[in-house]
A and B are shown apart, each in its own frame.
Chain A
């Protein structure tokens, strides 16, 4: 976890180039419809910010499938992005390299300042921002801004908000930008668009862009604690030894109870013969992605996360617009302890 000194302020250059991506999974329809509608509307040029709207996986969108050959949102590791392309290369790998050219290159000064990638889940997770680090101050501050707006807004009580931190080497589309996060809303069946979910996503995107405009025009943002969840481990379904078919379903007492603390001996699965299988871990953890459709094939019935408060610093725009790279790095370096995870020139 990043540590910051009391009262320190981070200054960063403008977040002037933003990418909004949908249809990274072709059957997660909120992002598909949001991007489609934005592409139809004439977007006005703005001072301080340019927003690129991208339909990430048009072939999968057209077929209303998660992917055609391989999961696009796992193709953005440096290794895959720099791999050779032949006519046997899966479509999504070719596409990931195209997107890297358009929005990156990942790790370079030319990359988009901010990439926001829109997703849905069949799990009852509300609205989640998913990042790789709790030191990405831009993402943390956007989350704080969305949370503050949420508290002032009458909303369906099922829309809780969470900030999730993955611990793997960054593999997703949002990692192409200098800053980025996935914005995930559930529950929604794949292949379906629910109006309340789409409205929530539209508001989230508007508020994110609002924050960027405010930041770019010099508004400072106060620091504070942010509740974050960090990935600990995945739990697979019990499976038949020979066929690898699942032999139990998520227990009715766990189904839909994402982000409710799971304690040792709490029910997790119910076998088809009615037996309850309990959580055998020793540490109480928070489940997310409970019964996400796309994760059956990845061997994940649910994943378990730990919770802690993470500090976010006061933030302001660097006074000079033309901030050389070394100054940007130095501002971040002041606050970076050894061993923190970096992806390129963040």
Chain B
């Protein structure tokens, strides 16, 4: 990447992948990717090789999140560099294969962009997930998408955090983008959720096409929610959950949670309140898959990121 007159120049985004079925029971991505594998016309753009790909076929076949271990946590340096073998958990083997096809992660040969399609039981709407605050290409893309779907909103979740960041399947690419659309139960396909995801992807691919054609994107700012803290359910000494997300917090993703606001409700009706220092913006509220990860929701803080002008080199 070279800088001249404050415009960052990137190589064209030539190789783009769209991942579905990273979690086998998140049906919008599974359905869209299968559709595009059969007929990819909708995702074709000039000068771009767009590859739809089912990342976890065994989980998709069983309509389960994963078979041995969560694929979307499996792309650690340790896993990717481990000697390959059948004794490894299925998803670790799969991570190594994906890294070979679309990576290697961190190398110049890696795919330019990977979109990873997910659903959530949380009321998150159409959320874009950004892994790095310094990825100007992604920031510009997200700015473009947000403008294109306005007045509908498209919150951006920034997962850059020393402890809470996790090794996703999309992290193999130079520019990883997560798409998290909800609420939708696992194993269910809702047509409105399916169409929302489809529309966001269309705009994303339009951006890539415009960029590849040489359009310069001027400096912009993007409002994001930076992940702050993971909040578990209250549990007893045996680890059993003893309270649920409070009705006042249920479905209120991205809305302010102030100190003193209700947060959990015990099974006998007692309210447990948020005792943080300031206002936070919770998300992933009551995501089914996170009960086992000890997470009732995550708190985020609002931030505005600046992206410099970008142009194809």
B76 neighbours in A (Cβ, 8 Å): none
A33–B286 touching, CB < 8 Å: no
User: 8 Å CB contacts to A: which residues of B253-286?
Assistant: 265, 267, 286
Residue in B185, B186, B240, B286 with the greatest tally of chain A CB atoms within 10 Å: B185
Q: Do A293 and B267 form a contact, CB below 8 Å, given A36-B240, A190-B288, A245-B34? A: no
Of B100-108, B151-159, B172-180, B243-251, the segment with at least 4 beta carbons within 8 Å of chain A is B243-251
Q: Is A168's beta carbon under 8 Å from chain B?
A: no
Interface of A is mostly: loop
Q: Is A198's beta carbon under 8 Å from chain B?
A: yes
B188 neighbours in A (Cβ, 8 Å): 122, 189, 291, 293, 296
Q: Is B235's beta carbon under 8 Å from chain A?
A: no
Residue-wise, chain A 248-283 has the 8 Å CB interface mask toward B (1 for contact) of: 011110010000000000000010100000000000
Q: Which residue of A lies closest to B185 (CB)?
A: A189
**Closest beta carbon of chain B to A279's beta carbon, Å:** 16
Residue-wise, chain B 274-313 has the 8 Å CB interface mask toward A (1 for contact) of: 0000000000001111011000000000000000000000
Q: Is A193's beta carbon under 8 Å from chain B?
A: yes
**Closest beta carbon of chain A to B28's beta carbon, Å:** 10
Residue-wise, chain B 23-57 has the 8 Å CB interface mask toward A (1 for contact) of: 00000000100110000000000000000000000
How far apart are the CA atoms of A291 and B188 in the complex, in Å?
7
B189 neighbours in A (Cβ, 8 Å): 246, 249, 291
Interface size on A, residues (CB 8 A): 30
B288–A255 touching, CB < 8 Å: no
A291–B190 touching, CB < 8 Å: yes
Q: Is A320's beta carbon under 8 Å from chain B?
A: no
A192–B192 touching, CB < 8 Å: no
A249–B185 touching, CB < 8 Å: no
How far apart are the CA atoms of A37 and B244 in the complex, in Å?
13
A187 neighbours in B (Cβ, 8 Å): 185
Q: Which residue of B lies closest to A37 (CB)?
A: B267
How far apart are the CA atoms of A189 and B288 in the complex, in Å?
8
A252–B192 touching, CB < 8 Å: yes
- The answer, among B31, B34, B241, B247, for a CB contact under 8 Å with A196, is B247
How far apart are the CA atoms of A252 and B184 in the complex, in Å?
14
Q: List 20 A-B contacts (CB under 8 A).
A: A33-B244, A37-B267, A64-B291, A122-B188, A189-B183, A189-B185, A189-B186, A191-B186, A192-B121, A192-B288, A194-B250, A196-B247, A198-B267, A249-B189, A249-B194, A251-B191, A255-B190, A255-B191, A272-B194, A291-B189
A-side interface residues toward B, CB under 8 Å?
A: 33, 36-37, 64-65, 122, 187, 189-196, 198, 245-246, 249-252, 255, 270, 272, 291, 293-294, 296-297
Given contacts A189-B121, A249-B190, 9 further A-B contacts (CB under 8 A): A33-B267, A36-B240, A189-B184, A191-B186, A192-B286, A252-B191, A255-B191, A291-B189, A294-B187
B-side interface residues toward A, CB under 8 Å?
A: 31, 34-35, 63-64, 121, 183-192, 194, 240-241, 244-247, 250, 265, 267, 286-289, 291-292
